[in-house]
Amino acid sequence: MQIVKIDTPYITLGQLLKVLDVIQTGGQAKWFLAEHVVKVNGEEEDRRGRKIYPQDIVEIDGLEPVRVVAD
């Protein structure tokens, strides 16, 4: 499982996709989420603005699961 450390209370799903180098710009997030299955804590998610908090687990189709932790 991949670990992403954040030093803010949360990170949006769109920002997380950029941190993981899945997308290059925030504008690509909407397209990416429409074309790929992304789950947050086991539930499908298609909102780029979804807040991801420490201890949340994000699963992106074809990639290793990601756990967000506080820095």
Going along the chain from its start, the domains and CATH numbers come out as 2-70 (3.10.290.10)
Closest alpha carbon to 48 in 7, 12, 2, 8: 12
pLDDT at 47: 94
Show pLDDT as tens, one digit a residue, over the chain (71 residues): 999 999 999 999 999 999 999 999 888 999 999 999 999 999 999 999 999 999 999 999 889 999 999 98
Q: Is residue 52 within 8 Å of 67, Cβ to Cβ?
A: no
Q: Is residue 51 within 8 Å of 12, Cβ to Cβ?
A: yes
Rg of the chain over CA atoms, in angstroms?
11
